[in-house]
A and B are shown apart, each in its own frame.
Chain A
């Protein structure tokens, strides 16, 4: 298993600003993922973040809006840039601990944009 922490746990931000969310894992993992959960909705994949390579973004998500860093095998950041109220969501990181194995999720960052 993996223990994942995220910072901040929640934040209230003004439109036009940016917020960087941190994801820390207690073990080295190859694959990390970032998801968004809009209010009352299911989870949608934003991007896959592998150490040593650029993140791979899903359709509808772009690097300028959601830049991701993955400096090592235990840490990643997601920045939500130039925020608007539509960005109000829960942002979750997850890791996969091995081939065809369980994905574990962090506790999420609840973001409200005013």
Chain B
């Protein structure tokens, strides 16, 4: 079963704008990971944030984690058409296997 939901389900923006995706989960976690998937292909790992961390950056990506609210957000700054993809959050509750959110479909218009 899915750990939680992602919001919004779909997002359409113009190139150069920022994109923010939110993820909520239900149980305590060890870490939360964000992935990108292009057109039903394999998943590309973007970033991992541990439960004792509040914020991480990687290039144009910024991830926050609020364990008290059981939520995370992924911010993509200065978006590009190549960022068009589905984005998934996934949580490790200690079982090592991941439980995925429902995903956000991002469309970046050139």
B-contacting residues of A (Cβ < 8 Å)?
Answer: 31, 33, 37, 42-45, 48, 59, 90, 92, 94, 96, 100-108, 110
Contacts and interface: CB of A to CB of B under 8 A. Distances in A.
B48 A44 contact: no
B97 A45 contact: yes
Interface string B79-110: 00000000010101001111111110000000
Contact of A108 (B30, B41, B98): B41
Contacts of B101: 42
A97 to B, nearest CB: 11
Contacts, number: 56
Nearest to A31: B96
**Interface residues on chain B, size class:** 20 to 34
15 contacts: A33-B97, A43-B43, A43-B88, A43-B90, A45-B98, A48-B96, A92-B43, A94-B43, A96-B96, A100-B31, A101-B48, A103-B90, A106-B42, A107-B42, A108-B40
B33 interface: yes
Nearest to A43: B100
B98 A103 contact: yes
A4 to B, nearest CB: 8
Contacts of A108: 40-42
The 7 closest A-B pairs by CB, nearest first: A107-B42, A105-B43, A43-B100, A42-B100, A108-B42, A45-B97, A42-B103
A42 B102 contact: yes
A102 B97 contact: no
Contacts of B57: none
Contacts of B88: 42-43
A33 B99 CA distance: 12
Given A42-B88, A103-B92, 16 more contacts: A33-B97, A42-B100, A42-B102, A44-B2, A44-B100, A48-B97, A90-B40, A101-B48, A102-B33, A102-B48, A103-B33, A105-B35, A105-B42, A105-B43, A105-B45, A108-B42
B64 to A, nearest CB: 19
A113 B100 CA distance: 25
